[in-house]
Structure 1
Amino acid sequence: MNQFATLFPALVFLIVFFSSGKDFVLATQALMIVMTGQVIYEKISKGKVNTKLFYAWVALILLGSLTVLFRDPIFLQWKFSIINWIFAAIIIGNHLLKRPPLMKYIMGSADNAFKGMTDKNWTFVSLLWGYVFLFQGTINLYFIFYTSLTTWVNFKFFGILAINLITALIMVIYLSQQGKVDFEEKT
């Protein structure tokens, strides 16, 4: 369900963009409404808002508002790079400062599936995602400046989804080879 909640705003954006004759401003407004709804729902149902969702929402409201105000997609297009670079800087910076692997705290409580992982395993996972975030933020610039808006929208949804799935697969293969992940179904 959490994966769907993460993809839902992007899916709404995609549907509105293509069904409205590629109206980026209208799609941006729809995205802002949906993510605001998610933030409100999380606050009411859970008492707090997921940190990643909150910061993504703040960036969306700021840059999305500029996109709508100036009727220019560049502001929203840059949001993706900025958010990913911030995540990369936090994860990689945490490693460079020789602090415990950050992904250990982010993923460590996932149904005990990752019990028994060493700091070396967590460091690999942290750096894998840190460099993927750095790559995604950077490759986004190529699609902003060297492709059409439609190509960027397709890349943003389908390309990033593919990159994230491949990264997750690499992580799972690595951890399963290390014997550090438990995929047994709990009954």
Structure 2
Amino acid sequence: MKQFIDFIPLFLFFIVYKIEPRAVDIAGQTLTVGGIYSATAMLIISSLVVYGALFISQRKLEKSQWLTLVACLVFGSLTLAFHSETFLKWKAPVVNWLFALTFAGSHFVGDRLLIKRIMGHALTLPDLIWTRLNLAWIVFFLFCGAANLFVAFTFQSYWVDFKVFGSLGMTVLFLVGQGIYLSRHIHDSDTTTPKTED
């Protein structure tokens, strides 16, 4: 569920982006609604609201959520300040590659792999499976970053659609694949766990 919270601002971004740009008078000010720049403003505002609400309710944000929020603020602000969507196109690749770097770094720093820190409270798996799972997340984030970059600068009329639905689709497929892979090993782990007599 946590993975899909990140998509709330993206969906709002997509909705505003798809609105035909038009001038709207609000409190005596003329604003343009629709298109990339008002969608970027919506992305920034909705990210602040979503992650702000999470922070208030949980008294904290996960590191991945901080990274997503900061990247949104930085790349979104640069997009608006320089009136260039190029900055926003780099957001998804950079964030995905930073996630990949973080998962990769956990192989060398700390006493546990990042995926084990995230899921270890819920699952008991052999170290080899944790290693494979962590590597799978690295490959996934590298692929997502490359795919977003390729589409953003090659198929420019579709990059927003891909940013939202392509990223969501890849995430869902990966999580389903991870679930299938884990189900085999959880079953094996259950059958090999020694039982204690009462």
Class of the TM-score when normalised by the shorter of the 2 chains = 0.7 to 0.9
For residue 66 of structure 1, what is the aligned residue in structure 2?
A: 78
Q: Is 1:167 the counterpart of 2:179 in the alignment?
A: no
Among 79, 97, 105, which residue is 2:91 paired with?
A: 79
| Structure-1 separation of matches of 2:172 and 2:188 | 17
Tell me the equivalent position of 1:153: 160
Q: Answer 1 or 2: which has greater helix percent.
A: 1
CA apart distance, 1:120: 1.4
Measured on the aligned residues, the alpha-carbon RMSD in Å equals 2.1
Seen in structure 2, the aligned counterparts of structure 1 residues 29 and 73 have a Cα distance that, compared at 3 Å, is: same
What residue is the counterpart of 2:12 in the other structure?
12
Q: Tell me which amino acid in the other structure corresponds to 1:89.
A: L
Matched ranges for 1:69-108 at <5 A: 69-95=81-107, 100-108=112-120
Question: Distance between the aligned counterparts of 1:90 and 1:6, measured in 2?
Answer: 18
What is the number of equivalent residue pairs in this alignment? 177
2:185 is matched with: 178
1:10, 1:31 within 8 Å by CA — same for their partners in 2?
yes
What is the aligned partner in structure 1 of residue 65 from structure 2? 53
Give the % identical residues: 33
Query: Which runs of 5 or more residues in structure 2 are unaligned?
Result: 22-33, 190-198
Post-superposition shift, 1:96?
A: 5.2
Structure-2 change in CA distance of 1:131 and 1:4 (3 Å): closer
CA distance in 1, matches of 2:113, 2:55: 28
TM-score, normalised relative to structure 2: 0.81
Kept after mapping to 2: 8 A contact 1:104/1:122: yes
Cα deviation, residue 68, structure 1:
0.6
Distance 2:50 2:188 in 1: 31
Moved more, 156-165 or 41-50: 41-50
Taking the aligned partners of 1:96 and 1:31, their CA distance within structure 2 comes to 35
TM-score of the superposition, structure 1-length normalised? 0.86
Deviations 1:99-124 (A, max 9, x none): 53210111223xx3x2x212212112
Q: Structure 1 96/131 Cα, relative in aligned 2: closer, same or farther at 3 Å?
A: farther
More strand by share: 2
Q: Return the letter of the residue paired with 2:126.
A: T
Residue 171 of structure 1 and its aligned partner are, at CA, apart by: 0.8
User: Offset at 1:98?
Assistant: 8.7
8 A contact 1:100–1:119 mirrored in 2? no
CA contact 1:77–1:144 (8 Å) conserved in 2: yes
CA offset at residue 63 of structure 1? 1.1
5+ residue gaps, structure 1 = 183-187
Secondary structure of the equivalent of 1:95?
coil
